[in-house]
Amino acid sequence: MSATIGIIMNGASGRMGYRQHLVRSILAIREQGGVVLSDGSRVQVEPLLVGRDEAKLARIAAQHGIEHYTTNLDEALADPRWEIYADFLVTSARSAAIKKAIAAGKAIYTEKPTAETYADALELAQLATDAGVKNGVVHDKLYLPGLRKLKRLVDSGFFGRILSVRGEFGYWVFEGDWHPAQRPSWNYRAEDGGGITVDMFPHWNYVLENIFGSVKSVYAQTATHIPQRSDEQGRPYKATADDAAYGIFELEGGIIAQLNSSWTVRVHRDELVEFQVDGTHGSAVAGLFGCEIQPRNATPKPVWNPDLEDTHDYDADWMQVPNTEEFENGFKVQWEQFIRHVVEDAPHEYDFLSGARGMLLAETALKSAREGRKFEIPTVSLAEEPLTTDAHELTLS
């Protein structure tokens, strides 16, 4: 076992690739002396930056003391020094690059969605399985302090029988005319892989299935509330992708989840995402960091009377779940988990098949919005025989 593992970081100069994956994950791991393995030894990380703009790569490399960078992905994949391929490209470019990495025999770690369609995402999962390469997909929301506290509540039986989950996510993304937008313009062009459904529903799928139960059906309504935006150069363009999605999901066990996702909503909540979970024995509200609970025996008795002002402070009836451990950056924690998976075969269940399930939910939700009806979510599985065709067909009845 080598003391250092090489990581190809394709798209590390982009927003997410640079901030979360390079600076807050890989460089933070390097700074701490590597990843601690089960036997107490450490494996250090060595990044190779890959991108199209050599000058930008050189600036980032010089700023952070990184030795290796290149604009030639094929050469990087052919070099045995680099054992892991990590992908932070735009979604439209991801599938082709991952296929090259599979062919090169690299372990692969990628942002989500893994592909533009469910068929392509499932194909990647099949190809990776057939090739015997280890693979992982970012599931960062599961590592957030608020959701980790929520998961502990579920596992402890705090809620009794869980009845419902209600989630609110989003904020106002500036249109780009009078103020620069805080998200890239491709997010609002369907032809470039944009849209909040394909961006967020893969997140919601793994959050729901790993905390509450797998999604059995979906009914969704999408909208493009802002039909015209301005790009990074201030040029107006037509927004062809959905900027809001409203979904109702039936989960295993009869739990009903309602999740609103919007880039056209002004925030009136404590955090940019919040989930309220109601059960027979108690309720909780969790965000990125905080989590509050209200048990059954401390629930107030509201009385509806529209003729009298209600002066009761309902917020005061909730109790904060304390921090009983130190929470690190979720991206970094999952990176460490995946590196242990590659180096010593430690568990890492968030693979390409999980990514395919997320894309299936997004694609089914878009179909639901187009046709105005609910759809069941079929089980996702791989073929027993190695893949011999270039595509899978999704049939939704």
DSSP per residue, 27-80 = HHHHHTTSEE-TTS-EEEEEEEEE-S-HHHHHHHHHHHT--EEES-HHHHHH-T
Q: What is the pLDDT of residues 216-238, one digit of tens each?
A: 999 999 999 999 999 999 999 99
Give the per-residue pLDDT at 1: 45
Is residue 396 predicted with pLDDT exceeding 90? no
Same domain, 310 and 347: no
Same domain, 294 and 173: yes
- Write the burial class of residue 246 (CB in 10 Å: 0-12 exposed, 13-18 middle, 19+ buried): middle
Position 373 pLDDT exceeds 50: yes
pLDDT at 387 over 70: no
Q: Which domain CATH number covers 184? A: 3.30.360.10
Q: pLDDT value at position 15? A: 87
Pick the closest to residue 367 from 238, 201, 144, 120 (CA basis). Answer: 201
Residue 391 lies in a domain: no
Judgement on whether residues 302 and 160 belong to the same structural domain of the protein: yes
176 pLDDT more than 80: yes
* pLDDT of the residue at 262: 98
Q: Are residues 205 and 304 in the same domain?
A: yes
State the pLDDT at residue 217: 98
The rounded mean pLDDT for the chain is 94
Is 386 a member of any domain? no
Residues 238 and 277 reside in one and the same domain: yes
Q: Are residues 243 and 279 in the same domain?
A: yes
Residue 367 and residue 309 share a domain? no
- State the pLDDT at residue 2: 54
Q: Taking Cα atoms as reference points, which of 142, 79, 70, 97 lies closest to residue 333?
A: 142
Query: Is there a single domain that holds both residue 96 and residue 216?
Result: no
| pLDDT tens sequence across 83-105 | 999 999 988 899 999 999 999 99
Q: Above 80 in pLDDT, residue 385?
A: no
Residues of the domain holding 196 = 145-320
134 CB neighbour count, 10 Å cutoff: 18
The yes-or-no verdict on residue 209 having pLDDT over 60 is: yes
Binning pLDDT at 50, 70 and 90, where does residue 384 land? confident
Q: Which residues, at least 6 apart from 254, have a Cβ–Cβ distance to it below 8 Å?
A: none
Which of 245, 257, 233 has its CA nearest to residue 194?
245
Residues 199 and 269 in one domain: yes
Does residue 79 sit in the same domain as residue 182? Answer: no
* Least confidently predicted of 224-228, 282-286, 297-301, 389-393: 389-393
Q: Quickly tell me which residue has 């099949």 as its tokens.
A: 126
* Spatial distance between the Cα atoms of 225 and 229, rounded to a whole number of angstroms: 11
Q: Global pTM?
A: 0.91
Q: How confident is the model at residue 394, as a pLDDT?
A: 39
Taking 80 as the threshold, does the pLDDT of residue 388 lie above it? no
**Residue-wise pLDDT tens digits, 329-363:** 999 999 999 999 999 999 999 999 999 999 999 99
Per-residue pLDDT for 392 more than 50? no
